Structure formats: C-alpha cells, structure tokens
Structure 1
C-alpha cells in the first residue's frame, strides 16, 4: 500500500521524535566486549558500549528466562558490579526492578556500561565458565536497551589463556571467529556461544553446513556420528520440504552424567554422558536427543504456538500447546530414528511402551489435563516436588502419545495416503511461511482435521482438555498391535513408595496417591527402620512373604522421633505393558504398519 506525501511526512516526524524510554534507535550502535580475567572463578566481565543515543533516559534489562525452557530463572541474580560512565566519568545507574537499571542520558549520546556475570551452573540453559571453557547462554549474559530488541549488536570475545575456538551460529565479522554479529536480540538470545578448545568436526546435508562441537572428552566415534547424524537430518527435512538454515551448530557437553537439550533457531545445546556412546542404548539415546532438538528448528522455532514469539523477556509466556511443541517433537525423535533404521522395530516399540507405561502409571494423569500441563509448565513441570507424580503429567510423554494417535488415525483412515507428516508440512508452510505467524489452538486442531478427514471435538474433549483413559489398543490396533500387561493376573501387594538410601538408611522420597502408604499415613521424609519389629536393611525385602490384605507395623523416624504406623497392604495397581503383534494382521493393518514404521 502506498502512503500519501502527507502521511509519509508525519511518519518521518514520528520516527525522529525523541523517546524517554529508549525507543529512538535509528542511529544507535551497540557493542559488547567479553573477557574472562577470572575464568577459574567462573566470571565473565562484560563491557557494553552504546552510541548514537537521543533519549533522555536509558533503561537496560536482562531477560528473566530463555526461550525453550519455561521457567523464570532470574538471570540477573548472577550480575554484580554494575557501573555506567559517560566520557570516562561515572554516572548513576539506578536499579529499578530485579532485572532493570536506569541511566539518565539527557544530552548524552554515548554510554559505557560494565558488569560481571557469575556463571557456574552447567546445563543447556544456563552459563558455565571455568578455566577449561566458557559456555554462554546469552539470555543470562547480555543486558539489552529497553525498546531496542530489534537492534543489531556486535560481540567481541577476548578468550582466556589457551582458548582457541568459538562455536556459535552467530555470524563472524570479517571472518574473525572472536568477533560476532547479531541482527537483533531475539537472535542473540537464541544463539549460545561456546569458547574453549572443543573438538570440532562437521558435515554437509543438502545445502546446509553442520558443525559439531564436542566439549569435554568422550568415547564418541566421529566417523560414526558423521555417518548417522545426516540420516536423521535428511528424514526430518523431508517432512517439511526444506531446511531453512545455511549453517547449524550442535554444541555437545560431555560430562559424567549429562543429559537434556535446548533448541535454538540455528543451533542446539546437548548434554551427554561421556562414556555412553559405546553402548547400543547410550548411542541410540544420544541420536534420539539429536533428533529431538534438531526437529525443533521447524517445530517450535518456526512453526510455533502464537504466543511463543515475539517474546516477552520480563514475564512468563503462557500457552496450552506445549504438548504439541514438545510432545510432538518427542514423538518424532524416536519415529525418525526408526525410519533411518538406526532403531530396529522392536527397539522402537520398546521405547513407545515405556512412554505408555509412564502415562498409565502416573497418578497425576488423572488430575492434570494436557492443556493444563502445558499452561502450568512455568510453575509445575520445571519446579517438581515430592508430590508431583500425584498431581502432574508430562506434556512430553503424553503429548508424544497424542501424536502417535493422530498419526495412526490419519494413516488408517486415508489408507496410507496421508500421515502426521502431512499435517506438520501443511502447518509449517501455512503459518510460518505464508502467514508469518504462529498458530492458535483452534488452527492446529483444524490442521489435523484437514488430513484426518473428521471432526476431532470428541478427541480433544477426552484427551487434551479431559482426563479420560486412552484406548491404546484401538490406535495400536490400526497397525495390528496390542498391549500385553505383564502384571495382569498377579495379586501382589505394594506399599506405593519411592525411596532413597543415603549411607544405607532408607528414606521415603515419594508416596503414590491411593497406595497403602498414602492411605495409612507414611510421609515423605520418613526413615524406615523396622517392619513388625524386625530391622530393615533392604527396602526390596520389606514385603517378602506378604500378601494383599496383610497388616504390618512400619516403624519410622519422623523428624528424628520414633513412630510406628499400622499399614494394610493394598494390591499393586501399576501396569507393565509391552507391545505385541496381533496373531494374524489384516491387509489393512499391515498397510498401516508398513507406512507408520517404514517397513519395506
């Protein structure tokens, strides 16, 4: 649409007007210099230079959370020694809220700010610095000017002694790996930086260059990874019909008991156990993590719930659709490994059975809906306590099962013409590529219905917004499978507790809802010392020789004081499913099975 001459003139005047909150950004230049003079003490020193200012007041902020990890982490708690200066002279920097500082910039065009960030939490979402390396999770490192989220910046890194490499998806300036450029703060906060002496190797898939930065020693096989990781990437890109990145970086932290991952627009950070690559289970687990986080470059980072971008970095960003964003990705992480033949069919069915068992055995599945689990991630999923199994359900596991159900339903009803892949492809191209926005709850449902060829109101009522039991056999039956409960027909008692045994002492860490322990008052924190006056040294032996209905006396120490509790043993209610083939699958069932599991 063309603008009239008068309208153009008015717009020009508005753009040139000064702002009192830091929104006049046209000629502003922002740069950072990061040094590590005390890397051994886990500090990054940050110098921020801002020039071209025109406003009377400058407010600087640090995000309170990082996209992809739905918890307010209060990154500003790690900031210290915050100072500001103008023309070499100190000026007041008033802290006006937990994550914001205000500087008077009337008649001031340039400000230099210095601060330190303590970084000693090694995870995929927090920064970690020691003498060996620095991992910068940028939402917790870089303070930004309020109103200038869309402004570019440059970052110059001065490495600690002996550090020679930088791994990040940010662009280099003039080919200098220690000078980086970010077009805006959404990109900067979504582009973690690894500095040190990481083992770097790579490969190319289609037109996309991939870098793998292995941080820390591990028994990984680079040749094997460069052979298998591209298979995963090719299958994922085929679903969406394109790979939107020209370059992508895997940052992998190898530790004694690593795990987890966090997706980014053009990179990901993975936690891995350094000695697990050599076992089949460990290696397949790592590939599954690779598949999960890489799949996010489409699902979440581009195809996303509408509220997940543009981001509010000061507050929680609520959505009821994390079961799609994370659950569907959890489904694809394993079905993709199966499609590459890196999982045999039986391995994949075992992984799927584990998901089903988790959901079926979690008491919280009867309390919290999938939509509620998504919405309350900020206060529940990332802040679990001893009662969480009784009140919560994971939108990862149950969301993955929803994806499975949609996939099998679509394949069955269309006789193999369509699958969930077609839904994801359609949603990506419709909302991200064409409409250039996220989807609403209603729009995603309509996308599934388009390929399922049916109204899904009842499905959503039961399983997304409701608490009804899932008819697993119905959906698995489309592919000629059914569940077998290995506990069926047994009549064994259970206390319904989870314990921890520090120094050989037995402490209750969880009491499952409606179990024997729940009903008769065993508490989390109780130390079990005896049963029927006999000292207990092995928690697994407590119920030896006992049957359902027996009454036992459990002696505990509660807050250091002795207490004896009479307990009536109830029947174990847990299931242990495995997935078996029906005896004689029909032609239709085999059609669905072959399509679903990529069986030739």
Structure 2
C-alpha cells in the first residue's frame, strides 16, 4: 500500500509537511513521481508543483538524490531500502481549487498535496492526517470524503484510505473548529461544515438541503451513489464558488448568503437563493460529471489538458437543473424561479461572444479562453454554463413537445446515469443526441437533428421564446431598466424606452469610473474608449460614480458628448455619439390570460418532477 502522512507543520507560515512512504524501488530505471498540473472540474493548468518549497528522499541509512524531470515530476533512483519522500507545501490559496492554512483552519485538495507514483495510480492509498501541534488547535476536527480506517472516528484526525489515487485526490480535507450541520437524504447521511465567522438558521438550511438532495437522488433513481456526503463551506465577508467531488463539495459563500433565524420564513432572500443554487449545482454534479463523464476524462490525465466539447452538457445541463430543483421542491416560488431563469437568459444575451463562439467551441477552449478571460472576453467568449443551460431548457421543452409530454430531458439524464455513469462508460460527442433520437418519435427526428446542429455548432439564436409559450410564458428581451438589472419575472412588462447607453461595464472610483469592459459595437467602443480607461468628465462636468448612468441618460440618443478620461497617466478626450441601450435583458411573465397560464406553468413544474 502507498502511504502518506500530512501534518500542518507551521500554520503561521502556511506550510503543510507531507511524507510519502514507498517500498524499495526494484526497477533499475527508477520510479517517477509527479504532481498534478490541474484539478478535475476546473479546466486550467495550475502547476500545483510550484507550491512545493523543498523536497528530499531518504532511506533509513542515507539521503537519496531526486532527479528533476520537468516542472512537476521527479525520478527516484533504484534502492533496496524503503524510502520516505518528504516535502513542504506552501498553502495560501484561498479558493475551492487549492490549499490554504493559517491559525483558523486548514483546507486542501489532493491535487495540491499528494505526489502520484507513476504506474501505480490504481493501487490502494492510505494517509495519516494530524492536527497542528499546540493547545490552540485541540478543538479542531477533520472533514473529508475519504474512508476512515478502523480506529479512526468520524470527523477525527487519524488514518484514512482511498481505493486508488483518483479517489485520493477527489476527496478534499477541511480541518478547523467548524460548525457542523447534519441531515439524512434518502437514508444517506449528509453534512455541512461551516468554517469562518457566521450566523445561520441551521434548521432551515438543513431542511432546504435535505429537500434538494432527495430531489436529485430521486431524479437519477435510488440508491444514491455514495454512502455519505459533505458540503465543506468556508464563510467569508465576500466570497462565492464551488468545486464538485465524488462525495463532497468545496464551497465558498458570503455571510449574507446564509439564512438567519430573523429572516421571513415565507420568502427566500436572493442571496440565500444563490447559495442554494450553488449547493444544488455541485450536488447534481455527483452524477453529472463525477460519474457521467466525457470519454476524454476516463481516466483523468492530470498532467495535460483534456479537451472535450461536452462541457455545455456537464455544466450547462447542471446549471439548468440546479435552480429548477429549487422550484420543484417549493424551496423557492415559481415567480422566483422565473426571475432566475430570466437572469440566465440575460447573461447569454449580453455576451457578444455568442455571435463569435459556439457553445462546443467554448467547451473545447475552456483551458485557454473561459478560464483565462481578459477584458475582451464579453466580445469573444460565450459561457458554456449559461448558454448550455438555455440549450438544456430548449431541449427539455422540445422532448416534451415531441412525446406529448410523456418524456423529458430527465429521461435522457437517467439513461446517461444507468448506461454510462454507473458503469463508467465515457460519453461521446453524439451520445446525447443519439439518446434523444431513441426517445422521440421518428417524425421528430429531423427537427431534433436540426436543433442539435443549431444549438451546438452554430451561433444562431435558440428558439427559447417560442418554446416558453408552450408552458404559458412570455419572454421579452428589452433594454435594462437600470445598471444592475439582470432580468426578472414581471407581472407587468417594462416599457421599451429608447435610453442612451455607452456600451460599457465599469467599476466605481473615487473620481469618476474605471472601464471594465467595452462592447466592440457600442458607442464607447466606436469612439475609441478602452478597458482600464478612467472616465472623469462628461461635457465638461465631473463624472459622479453614483449617478453616471443618470448623467448619460439625460442626453438624448444620437447626440454627441465629450468624455475626458485618463489612459494610464495621459489625459484623452473622446467624442461619443450616444446610441440607444441594447435590447439585452430578459423579462418573463405569464402570457395573456395571466391566471390560467400561471396555473399551466405550475403544472409544468410538477410534470417529470421526481418528487411527485
């Protein structure tokens, strides 16, 4: 058995000490060791080996020289004695992808911590994890999806085991004096750890999570594919993010995202909805991407990029179902769900990259474009999360339409689980289309093929408006009502006013505003204003960061304005012809017969809902 030891040797300096114990190296060519360069679920080369401060190998009698092969691998020479490789890992990456250690907590993903033994990745691994030394850490506990070895109590430091290296790096570890919430979902123990200062209505959170988790388990069909599950949550003043794992997830949230006992029990504040969306999203990944995988991910090659055009399905379909589950479990109201759907559609409409990049290209290029976005990303990149979610919505409605509401996208996902995920068979680029064609009548095949060609391999618009009419909904794309408006459910549609707009995104500064993004075909872009320009005056008057939008909208569309700006330390002047605000914001309401169509939509929510 390959055995590791991990000790937080110096929390103040953010250092973990890791030891890897190996039997004698019998191969005359030696033994290659390597550290992953990326972590599954986050598609960017991160070079985790750069955090190793020093590394050495020793037997009982002598130190053995390690040969550096490349940026992330070493060669251990032949030896007739057992070897211990010791190294220190610097852990100051406060993200769900990395490793972080200080006096308040320790967290790590296995990709940051465990050297792999080349050619022996299929062998069983064990790891001893200890708490930091000193009285200050006596109340720390440990949370991980790894299986405790007999003698190690749950949430205790001690020895844990993984069936292979893939499982070892797929079970992150949180150590701290965390707050623990527990509940059961379909008979499976579930936990949420909360690290960081916070207040929370734990009873409400446990109830909502239980409903969501049971919904997803029933969606794919019992039994659940894990025997326990942990939501590892770090609570920050301002934070958001998640990364899925096989029986756990690492989450970041803001304190304002958590429910409080003083909150209105008859409504769900928007921040809490966002957090539940995140939990629902990462939990759905337990099936969709952790077990139902692209063929390119079987097995993972953590040394090199693994390209797939299917992230639209694994992230997009997951994004479609994450907040739909909240509505189907009645955690949020139908109107609240429609607001969240409108925001997803708005996100797609505001992306100029949708005219440039297909959703499959976005998936394939995740390594170099989606995960490395620059100031021009809104003009060049479309999100496979939001565009994928809109594709999933349309596909779900098309399947229902073609089968007289007898089938839905849920049937496709169940087949993916049973025929691919549960037997570890890789999903190919045309697998989902093939399954859909098997489920719908022959008469619908041509329309389905045309939809897949349009949705996945072209930049043409999706038929979202017409499909939503099937369920009694009206979708209109109008100019945003205000700067922070990202779309919503409306009982009464806003007027289609011809408001002036510069075509930029910006951040507030003490004096003026700093341009974050410039839309290439907008008024500011045509005038030559660029990202990072600091706008300070409009028609000779100082720009107020708090009322900049109002200043612009006081000027009629078509009029030319003078904008003074600093580019770096040079003062520049731009003549800008104001253009009408673009129709890029989604508003959803119930169609003409409001009450009847609201009832119709509510019925749609229940059809194919696994809880009914």
The reply to whether TM is greater than 0.5 is yes
Post-superposition shift, 1:509?
A: 1.5
Quote the Cα distance in structure 1 between the aligned partners of 2:392 and 2:606. Answer: 14
Quote the Cα distance in structure 2 between the aligned partners of 1:86 and 1:156. Answer: 20
Query: Which of 311, 335, 351 is the aligned partner of 2:300?
Result: 311
Residues 478 and 583 in structure 2, CA contact (< 8 A), matched pair in contact too: no
State the TM-score, normalizing by the size of structure 2: 0.89
Residues 471 and 604 in structure 2, CA contact (< 8 A), matched pair in contact too: no
Give CA deviations for 1:181-216 in whole Å, capped at 9, x if unaligned: 111110011000111211123122223111221112
Residues 411 and 595 in structure 1, CA contact (< 8 A), matched pair in contact too: no
* Aligned counterpart, 1:74: 47
Query: Which of 313, 321, 336 is the aligned partner of 1:324?
Result: 313
Quote the Cα distance in structure 2 between the aligned partners of 1:431 and 1:264. Answer: 18
* Aligned counterpart, 2:241: 260
Quote the Cα distance in structure 2 between the aligned partners of 1:529 and 1:181. Answer: 60
Give CA deviations for 1:510-551 in whole Å, capped at 9, x if unaligned: 111200111111111222122222232343244243112111
* Aligned counterpart, 2:370: 381
* Aligned counterpart, 1:527: 534
* Aligned counterpart, 1:38: 10
* Aligned counterpart, 1:418: 407
* Aligned counterpart, 2:457: 465
How large is the Cα RMSD of the aligned pairs?
Answer: 2.0
Quote the Cα distance in structure 2 between the aligned partners of 1:199 and 1:82. Answer: 35
Query: Which of 284, 287, 312 is the aligned partner of 1:298?
Result: 287
| Residue 580, structure 1, aligned to residue 589, structure 2 | yes
* Aligned counterpart, 1:186: 166
Aligned residue for 2:94, secondary structure, equals: strand
| Residue 400, structure 1, aligned to residue 389, structure 2 | yes
Distance 1:597 1:377, change over 3 A: farther
Aligned residue for 1:371, secondary structure, equals: helix
Quote the Cα distance in structure 1 between the aligned partners of 2:544 and 2:325. Answer: 45
Aligned residue for 1:543, secondary structure, equals: helix
Query: Which of 493, 505, 515 is the aligned partner of 1:498?
Result: 505
Query: Which of 87, 108, 127 is the aligned partner of 2:99?
Result: 127
Aligned residue for 1:441, secondary structure, equals: coil
Quote the Cα distance in structure 1 between the aligned partners of 2:512 and 2:552. Answer: 17
* Aligned counterpart, 1:354: 343
Distance 1:326 1:337, change over 3 A: same
Post-superposition shift, 1:308?
A: 1.8
> Bigger shift: 182-191 or 480-489?
480-489
Distance 1:226 1:528, change over 3 A: closer
Give CA deviations for 1:189-245 in whole Å, capped at 9, x if unaligned: 100011121112312222311122111222222211222211111111111112111
| Residue 166, structure 1, aligned to residue 139, structure 2 | no
* Aligned counterpart, 1:7: none
* Aligned counterpart, 1:475: 467
Quote the Cα distance in structure 1 between the aligned partners of 2:539 and 2:509. Answer: 23
* Aligned counterpart, 2:555: 546
Residues 252 and 269 in structure 1, CA contact (< 8 A), matched pair in contact too: yes
Query: Which of 85, 97, 102 is the aligned partner of 1:113?
Result: 85
Quote the Cα distance in structure 1 between the aligned partners of 2:32 and 2:500. Answer: 62
Aligned residue for 1:287, secondary structure, equals: helix
Residues 133 and 196 in structure 1, CA contact (< 8 A), matched pair in contact too: yes
Aligned residue for 2:168, secondary structure, equals: helix
Residues 349 and 585 in structure 2, CA contact (< 8 A), matched pair in contact too: no
In structure 2, list runs of 5 or more residues that go unmatched.
Answer: 264-268, 480-494
| Residue 149, structure 1, aligned to residue 158, structure 2 | no
Residues 408 and 419 in structure 1, CA contact (< 8 A), matched pair in contact too: yes
* Aligned counterpart, 2:490: none
Post-superposition shift, 1:30?
A: 1.7
| Residue 446, structure 1, aligned to residue 434, structure 2 | yes
Residues 473 and 597 in structure 2, CA contact (< 8 A), matched pair in contact too: no
Quote the Cα distance in structure 2 between the aligned partners of 1:80 and 1:61. Answer: 15
* Aligned counterpart, 2:483: none
Residues 78-89 of structure 1 correspond to what in structure 2 (within 5 A)?
Answer: 78-89=51-62
Residues 499 and 553 in structure 2, CA contact (< 8 A), matched pair in contact too: no
Aligned residue for 1:326, secondary structure, equals: helix
Distance 1:586 1:285, change over 3 A: closer
State the TM-score, normalizing by the size of structure 1: 0.91
* Aligned counterpart, 1:345: 334
Residues 150 and 185 in structure 1, CA contact (< 8 A), matched pair in contact too: yes
Post-superposition shift, 1:499?
A: 1.8
Residues 479 and 590 in structure 1, CA contact (< 8 A), matched pair in contact too: no
| Residue 568, structure 1, aligned to residue 577, structure 2 | yes
| Residue 60, structure 1, aligned to residue 60, structure 2 | no
* Aligned counterpart, 1:4: none
Post-superposition shift, 1:121?
A: 1.2
Aligned residue for 2:246, secondary structure, equals: coil
Distance 1:503 1:199, change over 3 A: same
Quote the Cα distance in structure 1 between the aligned partners of 2:522 and 2:318. Answer: 33
Post-superposition shift, 1:117?
A: 0.5
Distance 1:43 1:470, change over 3 A: same
